[in-house]
Every structure is written in structure tokens, then in C-alpha cells.
């Protein structure tokens, strides 16, 4: 166990061309399914199964059944109707059935000659005069064993196929690959002890069973992917991911980082000039960061804090520690709007302390940009704020000590890891602080962020009032507009948010422009502003500034304002078409209000009539203001890809495992990882390679 003991070749080094029936052409087709070795074939798992283990008498057939049947061909004919088709009638003495084919060759009719015994599998339908199967899978039985040939002994796997590689061929190939299992061609990297402790099947048994489940295996369990054989593989895959992130983390700990010795001078001045004192949660998280920054290896810390919990202050404190120690800090935000806001705030707070804050955006004029770049590389600028423009090649830092990534969920894991490289020199890396308002349930965080230390700001600043939330159909738009008008006349400020139709910033911008026009017309006494993602930062900035200053009553916006935007006097938010967004995203949006001491409200104005499920989702928001509760529900209702914002980024894409469904495995996976690292360290790398391969490098760290 665990070592390449026998001399049998290993499945990952046996090309598929070794198998019978695989020539160059077939190998190329298999390549399109990402199958090039016997191991790939073994891990090409069925997507579902068919039960052909029981033969049903023709007399017992009912429409809708998906079954195996057998009978003798009575007659076969080609019919010329609107479509040419081949019809074959079979019977078994208890009843009969018509087989109907629209695609057939000339030989087909002869094959299904009268008297032939045929076995078919397919779905039974109500035909014109009798029950029928359309395009059943079928094969002929030899006359001599037509009465003895047994039904299938195993459930039949159905695989993902591609052009030129169909089910029967694939099944035969997998069958051959299974034979290699018996020869020990696939080492089980999970030691006996681990398997026993976590109640896992041996790998070869699990794979053998998944490809060929015995007739008595539960089809229901298999289809829901809860069969022990499938769970064994899901466990192993999650374990491999978990271990790869852990390895990444320990690899970082072997790198060096600047020791950021703090004098407390700048941070003290900064805190003294704030109009409030920091919460004990902010203080605790800052202490944790302070400790990390004093270490000679790079900090990799994730700060989670609900919207409005005051993460920015913590980022400033960390940045000041870097500056005190004679280094620079870079703060990266996911949108221009948020970067601008940080820039404005930072400059406001830090200029009095004699700190120069630099600003890098994709939209800077060439001359401005040149000056900014020079200030960064020359070391005159202490702090750089910007979007991912910060990490373009031309950007050189003088002495970068800390990188802060705000609203991390908007970036992919690849970007996050690639950023570690930026600012590294001679094996020394900047410290990294990652901030997110997406509260990830603990078990999920263990897997998604196994490479990070996690701090939680679990307290909101005092004096916040909960946002009361209601859902209304947009047939009541007029009333809602009236209400907005009344609120603004009382001196309140409001957001009117037009949500994105997936991916289409252009359409959303259009919707926002239309809404703004309508609102200006209906509420002529109000000052209505507009911001959306298609405006240039130079166009948006004055609008945001005016809204912050209270000169604009009503701000119409797309979801560009979702992250970070902070205007405490705004206390009313209307969200159009909330049903288009996930709960976590709605919670983020709603977090723009309820920042001052005034009673705040949020109106979810949905379109048309909502499905039961959509009602339930919106109800979660009405009932809870706690980001963690909402995230958990969101996870239940939508799945982790959405919660983590990783749909497009390719992070956490599993072959077998499903974070949603296999959540309950995660704590055990974490324990198994520890056991493996401690007692079987030599198994770790091959395990990661099997499941992740080169991808384990993610950003190439």
C-alpha cells in the first residue's frame, strides 16, 4: 500500500492506445473527452445509470417505463409516410411492442428479420395502435441461447460521450480499463488507517463499483451521487484540493517577507483623528494582523466582515504599519467606483499625517499615469489605491510591504494567487490582506480558503438600525415612487438600483437611464443623479461626490454600487428586479443603507409574479439582516459557485465532488488532511497530482 510496490505499470502512464480497439483516430476522439490514459478512462465517471437487470414481459408494459424487453420479430417493414421509417413488431406471447426507427440503414431491415430474437432497452410510449419504443438500443440473441441468455447482471453506466465515441464503445473501453484495476495499476493513496477512520471504500473497489454497480445497488443513491463508492471519490477529490491549498500555504511560509516593525506613531495619530473609536472586533482583528506583519514570512490573512462592519479602517491600520516600517502598501478594489472612494477616504484621512496616496486607474491620462508610476517606483508615494490596474507590468514599487485586496470575492483565486508574485523579489513576498463581505460558512471556508488564516469582524459599529425590508410587485411602482418622493422631501437620501441582466452591463445601463428619466419626470422637485458602469470615472466621481454631500436626493444606479459605497445619510433603497440576483449580492446592496442612525428601509420591487422559490428567497432577506445566516441560505438555495462568486473564475471546479451536496464531508476532509500531512506526508503529492495535476499550481506559486 502506498508505494509503487509491484512492477505493474501505473494507469496514469498507460496510454489509451494500449487498449484493444483504440487506434490513432479513436485516441484523438477520446482526447476530446480529456481521456488520454487508462487512468483518465477510470475517472471518466458515469453521469447516470440504466437498470437493465430485469426483463419485463411485453404484456406488463406501461407507457413511461424505461425497461429491457425481449421478443421475437413478427414482421419488419419500411413505411413511407411524411417521414420514411422502419417499423418492427416483436412479441413474446404475453403481448407485443412496436420498435420505430427514423434513422436506419439498408441492412437494418434484414437484421430485424421475422423470427429473429431481439433484446431492447428504451422508453415505452403510447403508439397509434400499440405500445412502442422509438430508437431503442437493441441487439440480437443467438437462437440457441435466446431462452437462457440472462438479463444484465449490473446496472448499465451512461457516460458523457462525444462525436465518434458512443456508449457501447465507451463501456467496452472502461471494461478493459477496469481489468487494470485488478492488476494493481491504480495505487490507493489513502492509507488503510485513513480509510478505516473515515469509513471509506478502497479506491479500486469504489471505481469498479461506480462503473459497474451490482444489480442490487440503489439506483436512487447512485443518481443522487450518495452511494458509498461515489462518496469515496468525492472525499478523495475534496481532500486533494484541501491539501493543495495547504501546501500552498506552507510553501508561502517558507518564503520571506519584510518584517514590518510598527512604532504606533501613525496608527495612533490616525485613530485619534477618527470621529469614533473602533469596535472591539476591529481591535481584535487589527491585533491579529499586527502580529502577522511583524513576522518574517508573508501574512496571508482573510478578513471577513459583514457589510458595514468597518473593514476599511482595519485596512488603513495595516497599511500604516507598513508605512511606519518604511514600506509601501497597495490597496486593490474590484471596481473603479470603489477604488475612487477608497482613494478619496484615504487621502482625507492620511494627508494630515503627511502620507502620500497614489491613485492608479485604467482611465488615467498618460501624463498623470506617468507621474503616479514614477512616485511609486521612486518611493515618494507611500500608498497606492486602484483597481487591478495596480498590477499591470509597468507598475513598479519601490518597497512594497503589504497588498490589501478588498472585496476579494470579486476576484478569482487565480488572480489572488498571482498577486502574490507581484511585488516579490529575491524570494521575498509582500504580506497579503484579503477582505471580503461574503460571509462564508465555516466548513466551506475551510476548503475554499485552506491556504489562508481567517479573521472575522463579527460586530457592527454601534448605533446602526436594522434595515426593514419589504417585497412588492412592480405594479405598485407609482406608490413606490411617491414614497421615495416623500422620504426625500424629509431630507432623506435614496438609491434606486437597476439590476443587471446577466452579463449585460449595456442593458442595465440603459435600464438605469430610463429609470432616471422617469423619476426625474415624476419627481421634478428632486435632484436625481445617475451612475452606471458605462460611465467614465471622471463622469461618475462628481455624481458620487454630490450624493455624498447631500446635493443629490436620489441616486439611480446599476449594481456598480454594490460593493463598498458608503453614504451614511442614505436610508432608503429600491431594488428593481431583485429576483435576478443572489441573496448574498442583495444583502451587499442593501448594506448601502442602514449606515447612519436613521431608520432605513429597502424595497425589493419584483417583476411580474414570483415563483414559490423566489418568494422564499426574498423572504430570507426580509427576515434576516445577518450576512452569515443569509449566506447559509443562499448556499442551500443556489450552491457554492454563486456564493463564492466563482462561477466564471474556474476556482473549485470539481470532477466528482459537489461542495453543496458534499458539505457534510468537509470537516472530515480537513481532519483527514491533517492525518495525512502528519503521518503519511509522502502520499500527499501524488494525491494532489492525481486530481489536480498542473492545476495545483493555480497562480503558479
- In the window 481-510, what residues touch ligand ADP (CB under 6 A)? none
The reply to whether 310 sits near ligand ADP by the rule CB under 6 A is yes
Q: What values do phi and psi take at 371, rounded to 5? A: -65, -45
Of 564, 627, 640, 645, the residue at the interface with Mg ion (CB under 5 A) is 564
- What's the min distance (Å) between Cβ of 587 and ligand ADP? 11
- In the window 147-166, what residues touch ligand ADP (CB under 6 A)? none
Residue placing its CB nearer to ligand ADP in the complex, 312 or 438: 312
The reply to whether 595 sits near ligand ADP by the rule CB under 6 A is yes
Q: Would you state the cell numbers that stand for residue 333, as one nine-digit string?
A: 478594489
The reply to whether 458 sits near ligand ADP by the rule CB under 6 A is no
Of 88, 312, 335, 585, the residue at the interface with ligand ADP (CB under 6 A) is 312
Residue 166 binds which of ligand ADP, Mg ion, none (CB < 5-8 A, kind-dependent) = none
The reply to whether 310 sits near Mg ion by the rule CB under 5 A is no
The reply to whether 313 sits near ligand ADP by the rule CB under 6 A is yes
The reply to whether 276 sits near ligand ADP by the rule CB under 6 A is yes
C-alpha span between 127 and 116 (Å, rounded):
22
The four Cα atoms 132, 135, 139, 141 give a dihedral, to 10 degrees, of 20
- What's the min distance (Å) between Cβ of 344 and ligand ADP? 12
Residue placing its CB nearer to Mg ion in the complex, 39 or 455: 455
Q: What angle do CA 277, 278, 283 make, to 5 degrees?
A: 140
Q: Would you state the cell numbers that stand for residue 367, as one nine-digit string?
A: 501624463
| Rounded (10°) angle between helices 167-182 and 203-211 | 160
Q: Which SS3 state, helix, strand or coil, does residue 431 take? A: strand
* Half-sphere exposure for 438 (CA within 13 Å, toward CB): 28
Residue 566 binds which of ligand ADP, Mg ion, none (CB < 5-8 A, kind-dependent) = ligand ADP
Q: CB 105: neighbour CB atoms within 10 A?
A: 10
Residue placing its CB nearer to ligand ADP in the complex, 118 or 385: 385
Residue 568 binds which of ligand ADP, Mg ion, none (CB < 5-8 A, kind-dependent) = ligand ADP
Residue placing its CB nearer to ligand ADP in the complex, 166 or 276: 276
Q: Are 237 and 657 in contact (CB under 8 A)?
A: yes
Residue placing its CB nearer to ligand ADP in the complex, 42 or 313: 313
The reply to whether 574 sits near ligand ADP by the rule CB under 6 A is no
Contact stretch for ligand ADP (CB under 6 A) within 2-10, 471-479, 562-570, 654-662: 562-570
- What's the min distance (Å) between Cβ of 307 and ligand ADP? 4
Q: Which residues contact 2 (CB under 8 A, 6 or more apart)?
A: 187, 188, 189, 191, 680, 682, 683
Residue placing its CB nearer to ligand ADP in the complex, 285 or 669: 285
Residue placing its CB nearer to ligand ADP in the complex, 197 or 283: 283
- In the window 311-370, what residues touch Mg ion (CB under 5 A)? 311
Q: What values do phi and psi take at 154, rounded to 5? A: -130, 160
Contact stretch for ligand ADP (CB under 6 A) within 166-174, 303-311, 653-661, 685-693: 303-311
Contact stretch for ligand ADP (CB under 6 A) within 43-51, 52-60, 389-397, 564-572: 564-572
The reply to whether 596 sits near ligand ADP by the rule CB under 6 A is no
DSSP secondary-structure letter at 680?
Answer: -
Q: At 301, which helix (H) or strand (E)?
A: strand 300-305
Residue placing its CB nearer to Mg ion in the complex, 485 or 564: 564
E runs forming strands in 81-179: 84-91, 96-101, 117-126, 131-134, 137-141, 156-158
First to last CA, the chain: 31
Q: Which SS3 state, helix, strand or coil, does residue 15 take? A: strand
Contact stretch for ligand ADP (CB under 6 A) within 305-313, 331-339, 477-485, 634-642: 305-313
The reply to whether 600 sits near ligand ADP by the rule CB under 6 A is no
C-alpha span between 207 and 545 (Å, rounded):
61
Which residue's CB comes closest to ligand ADP?
310
Tell me the torsion sign for CA atoms 70, 76, 79, 85.
positive
- In the window 419-438, what residues touch ligand ADP (CB under 6 A)? 437
CA of 579: how far to CAs of 139, 471, 519, 589, 654, in Å? 50, 10, 22, 13, 28
Contact stretch for Mg ion (CB under 5 A) within 154-162, 259-267, 310-318, 464-472: 310-318
C-alpha span between 675 and 330 (Å, rounded):
38
The reply to whether 278 sits near ligand ADP by the rule CB under 6 A is yes
Q: Are 71 and 89 in contact (CB under 8 A)?
A: no
List contacts with Mg ion (CB under 5 A): 311, 564
List contacts with ligand ADP (CB under 6 A): 276, 278-279, 282, 305, 307-313, 437, 461, 564, 566, 568, 595
Amino acid at each position: 500500500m502506498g508505494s509503487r510496490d509491484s512492477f505493474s505499470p501505473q494507469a496514469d502512464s498507460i496510454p489509451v492506445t494500449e487498449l484493444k480497439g483504440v487506434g490513432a483516430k479513436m485516441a484523438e476522439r477520446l482526447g476530446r473527452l480529456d481521456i488520454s490514459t487508462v487512468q483518465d478512462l477510470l475517472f471518466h465517471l458515469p453521469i447516470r445509470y440504466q437498470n437493465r437487470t430485469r426483463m419485463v414481459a411485453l404484456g406488463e408494459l406501461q407507457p413511461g417505463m424505461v425497461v429491457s424487453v425481449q421478443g421475437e420479430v413478427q414482421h419488419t417493414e419500411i413505411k413511407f409516410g411524411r417521414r420514411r421509417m422502419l417499423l418492427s413488431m416483436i412479441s413474446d406471447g404475453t403481448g407485443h411492442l412496436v420498435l420505430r426507427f427514423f434513422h436506419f440503414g439498408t441492412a437494418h431491415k434484414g437484421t430485424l428479420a421475422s423470427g429473429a430474437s431481439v433484446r431492447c432497452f428504451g422508453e415505452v410510449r403510447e403508439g397509434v395502435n400499440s405500445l412502442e419504443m422509438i430508437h431503442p438500443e437493441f441487439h440480437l440473441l443467438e437462437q440457441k441461447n435466446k431462452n437462457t441468455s440472462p438479463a444484465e447482471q449490473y446496472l448499465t453506466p451512461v457516460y458523457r460521450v462525444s462525436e465518434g465515441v458512443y456508449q457501447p464503445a465507451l463501456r467496452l473501453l472502461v471494461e478493459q480499463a477496469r481489468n487494470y484495476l485488478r492488476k494493481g495499476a491504480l495505487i490507493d493513496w489513502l492509507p488503510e488507517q485513513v480509510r478505516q477512520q473515515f469509513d471509506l471504500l478502497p479506491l479500486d473497489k469504489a471505481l469498479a463499483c461506480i462503473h459497474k454497480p451490482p444489480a442490487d445497488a440503489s439506483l436512487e443513491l447512485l443518481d443522487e451521487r450518495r452511494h458509498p463508492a461515489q462518496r469515496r471519490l468525492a472525499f478523495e477529490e475534496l481532500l486533494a484540493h484541501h491539501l493543495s491549498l495547504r501546501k500552498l500555504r506552507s510553501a508561502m511560509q517558507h518564503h520571506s517577507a519584510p518584517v514590518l516593525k510598527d512604532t504606533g506613531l501613525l496608527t495612533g495619530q490616525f485613530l485619534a483623528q477618527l470621529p469614533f473609536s473602533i469596535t472591539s472586533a476591529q481591535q481584535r482583528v487589527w491585533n491579529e494582523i499586527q502580529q502577522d506583519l511583524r513576522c518574517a514570512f508573508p501574512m496571508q490573512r482573510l478578513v471577513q466582515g459583514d457589510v458595514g462592519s468597518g473593514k476599511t479602517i482595519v485596512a488603513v491600520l495595516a497599511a500604516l504599519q507598513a508605512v511606519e516600517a518604511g514600506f509601501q502598501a497597495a490597496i486593490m478594489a474590484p471596481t473603479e467606483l470603489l477604488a475612487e472612494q477608497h482613494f478619496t477616504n484615504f487621502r482625507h484621512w492620511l494627508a494630515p499625517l503627511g502620507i502620500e496616496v497614489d491613485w492608479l486607474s485604467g482611465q488615467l491620462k498618460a501624463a498623470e499615469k506617468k507621474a503616479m508610476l514614477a512616485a511609486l517606483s521612486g518611493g515618494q508615494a507611500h500608498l497606492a489605491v486602484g483597481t487591478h490596474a495596480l498590477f499591470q507590468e509597468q507598475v513598479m514599487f519601490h518597497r512594497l510591504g503589504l497588498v490589501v485586496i478588498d472585496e476579494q470575492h470579486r476576484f478569482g483565486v487565480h488572480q489572488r494567487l498571482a498577486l502574490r508574485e507581484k511585488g516579490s523579489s529575491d524570494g521575498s513576498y509582500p504580506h497579503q490582506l484579503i477582505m471580503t463581505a461574503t460571509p462564508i460558512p465555516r466548513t466551506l471556508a475551510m476548503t475554499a480558503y485552506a491556504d489562508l488564516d481567517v479573521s472575522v469582524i463579527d460586530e457592527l459599529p454601534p448605533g446602526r438600525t436594522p434595515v426593514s425590508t419589504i417585497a412588492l410587485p412592480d405594479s405598485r411602482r407609482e406608490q413606490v415612487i411617491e414614497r421615495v418622493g416623500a422620504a426625500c422631501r424629509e431630507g432623506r437620501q435614496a438609491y434606486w438600483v437597476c439590476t443587471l441582466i446577466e452579463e449585460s452591463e449595456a442593458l442595465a445601463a440603459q435600464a438605469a437611464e430610463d429609470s432616471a428619466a422617469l423619476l426625474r419626470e415624476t419627481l421634478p422637485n428632486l435632484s436625481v443623479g445617475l451612475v452606471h458602469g458605462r460611465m467614465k470615472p471622471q463622469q461618475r466621481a462628481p455624481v458620487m461626490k454630490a450624493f455624498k454631500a447631500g446635493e443629490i436626493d436620489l441616486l439611480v444606479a446599476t449594481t456598480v454600487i454594490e460593493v463598498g459605497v458608503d453614504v451614511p445619510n442614505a436610508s432608503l433603497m429600491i431594488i428593481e428586479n431583485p429576483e435576478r440576483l443572489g441573496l448574498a449580492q442583495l444583502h451587499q446592496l442593501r448594506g448601502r443603507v442602514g449606515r447612519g442612525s436613521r431608520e432605513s428601509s429597502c424595497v425589493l420591487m419584483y417583476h411580474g409574479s414570483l415563483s414559490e422559490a423566489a418568494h422564499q428567497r426574498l423572504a430570507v432577506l426580509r427576515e434576516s439582516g445577518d450576512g452569515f445566516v443569509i449566506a447559509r441560505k443562499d448556499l442551500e438555495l443556489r450552491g457554492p459557485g454563486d456564493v463564492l462568486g466563482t462561477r466564471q473564475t474556474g476556482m473549485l471546479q470539481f470532477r466528482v465532488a459537489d461542495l453543496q451536496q458534499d458539505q457534510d464531508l468537509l470537516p472530515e476532509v480537513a481532519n483527514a488532511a491533517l492525518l495525512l500531512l502528519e503521518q503519511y506526508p509522502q502520499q500527499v503529492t501524488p494525491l494532489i497530482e492525481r486530481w489536480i495535476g498542473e492545476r495545483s499550481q493555480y497562480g503558479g506559486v
